[in-house]
């Protein structure tokens, strides 16, 4: 089991509960990089309805889905068809198709020109409505998770707030279709680390997610009902000079008797604005932990990584 925390403790007016949450979260992120969170802002009703809408979308005919795969967007919005994305260092495409919802910018923020428009599915209007609602709820949850992380790192509690306001976050409903023939070496998602600050995962529809622990063993991760699984991404690992761990994880293929089943998963990748600096925090650099990374902005780093995984 991965450590479990209750966001209600952090949101309470009780300093002891808040501090205990911060310590438990920080320790989990230093040790394994993953934690289960209850007391978050995503309602069970939104979660269940969005999963149903995902199943409805991915069961549409390929010809309809392909209308929503927009050339030139590097998969930033709308549909990405089967096998397009691969893990860094791999050539074989993962056994999945997915959709991307992105940031809806309110007001006159100039960052609006950096983001493509969200795409709505005319055959399933509720898919878009639910996707954008879940996006807001998970973004709000992520804001408080990052406030706790900031306190753990000895930073101002609101350190991340401005950086993630209208950030380049992505909600990604994924469908891993039934496996119809012996996969050569492809798996549903090869071992990888996430690019972003943190990832918030709504409970997946089937087992298969595994995390690599410090002993080099693969551990099965199952999200319990009403919990999100929240892990550290490479941007946060980089910012903290490896103090917080971006954990390697994968989605393995099911046993042969379950090949006929689909798997659905909906991660929210919380990204900052492109101008955020990921230069290592001075208080995370020491003689025991010397500087590991060169200065870079979040936008430059994202660009680099999208090329490595085949989306750009």
For the segment 45-97, what is each residue's pLDDT rounded down to a tens digit?
Answer: 999 999 999 999 999 999 999 999 998 887 899 999 886 655 565 556 567 89
Q: Is the dihedral of CA 306, 309, 311, 312 positive or negative?
A: positive
- What is the residue range of 182's domain? 4-308
Question: What does the buried/exposed string (b/e) look like for 205-216 if buried means 16 or more CB atoms within 10 Å of the residue's CB?
Answer: bbebbbbbbeee
pTM above 0.85, yes or no: yes
Question: In this predicted model, which residue has the larger pLDDT, 308 or 145?
Answer: 145
Identify the pLDDT of residue 220. 85
- Helix, strand, or coil (residue 192): strand
Q: What mean pLDDT is predicted for residues 240-262?
A: 83
What is the number of domains present in the chain?
A: 1
Q: How many other β-carbons are positioned within 10 Å of the β-carbon of residue 127?
A: 23
Mean pLDDT of the chain: 89
Does the pLDDT value for residue 184 go beyond 90?
Answer: no
What pLDDT band is residue 255 in, cutting at 50, 70 and 90?
confident
Q: What is the pLDDT of residue 74?
A: 78
What ranges make up the beta strands (E) of 8-102? Answer: 34-38, 78-80, 97-100
Pick the closest to residue 127 from 43, 177, 60 (CA basis): 60
Band of residue 44 on the pLDDT scale cut at 50, 70, 90: very high
Distance of alpha carbon 22 from alpha carbon 152, whole angstroms: 6
Q: How confident is the model at residue 260 (pLDDT cuts 50, 70, 90)?
A: confident
Q: Please state, in angstroms and rounded to a whole number, the distance separating the CA atoms of residues 236 and 244.
A: 7
Residues 198 and 17: their CA atoms lie apart, in Å, by 22
Provide mean pLDDT across the span 116-123: 96
Is 90 exceeded by the pLDDT of residue 237? yes
Q: Which residues pair with 100 in a beta bridge?
A: 78
Tell me the average pLDDT across 194-208: 81
Report whether 199 contacts 268 (CB < 8 A). yes
With a cut of 80, say whether residue 189 has pLDDT above it: no
- When mean pLDDT is compared over 34-38, 227-231, 292-296, the highest value belongs to 292-296
CATH of residue 143: 2.60.120.330
282 pLDDT above the threshold of 90: yes
Per-residue pLDDT, averaged over 206-224, amounts to 79
Residues 189-204: what's their mean pLDDT? 85
């Amino acid at each position: 089991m991965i450590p479990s925390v209750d966001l209600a403790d952090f949101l309470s007016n009780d300093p002891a509960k808040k501090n205990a949450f911060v310590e438990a979260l920080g320790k989990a992120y230093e040790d394994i990089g993953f934690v289960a969170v209850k007391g978050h802002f995503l309602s069970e009703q939104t979660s269940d309805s969005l999963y149903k809408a995902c199943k409805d979308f991915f069961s549409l005919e390929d010809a309809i889905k392909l209308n929503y795969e927009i050339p030139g967007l590097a998969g930033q919005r709308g549909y990405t068809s089967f096998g397009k994305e691969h893990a860094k260092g791999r050539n074989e495409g993962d056994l999945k198709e997915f959709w991307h919802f992105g940031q809806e910018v309110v007001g006159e923020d100039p960052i609006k020109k950096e983001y493509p428009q969200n795409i709505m599915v005319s055959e399933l209007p509720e898919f878009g409505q639910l996707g954008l609602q879940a996006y807001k709820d998970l973004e709000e949850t992520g804001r408080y998770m990052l406030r706790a992380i900031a306190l753990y790192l000895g930073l101002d509690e609101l350190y991340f707030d401005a950086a993630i306001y209208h950030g380049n976050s992505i909600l990604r409903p994924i469908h891993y279709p039934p496996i119809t023939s012996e996969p050569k070496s492809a798996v549903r998602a090869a071992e990888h680390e996430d690019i972003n600050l943190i990832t918030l995962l709504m409970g997946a529809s089937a087992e298969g997610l595994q995390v690599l622990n410090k002993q080099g063993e693969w551990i099965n991760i199952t999200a319990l009902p009403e919990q999100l699984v929240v892990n550290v991404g490479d941007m946060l690992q980089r910012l903290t000079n490896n103090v917080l761990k971006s954990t390697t994880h994968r989605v393995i293929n099911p046993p042969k008797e379950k090949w006929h089943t689909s798997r659905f998963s909906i991660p929210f990748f919380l990204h900052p604005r492109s101008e955020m600096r990921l230069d290592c925090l001075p208080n995370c650099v020491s003689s025991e932990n010397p500087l590991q990374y060169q200065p870079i902005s979040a936008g430059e780093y994202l660009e680099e990584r999208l090329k490595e995984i085949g989306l750009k």
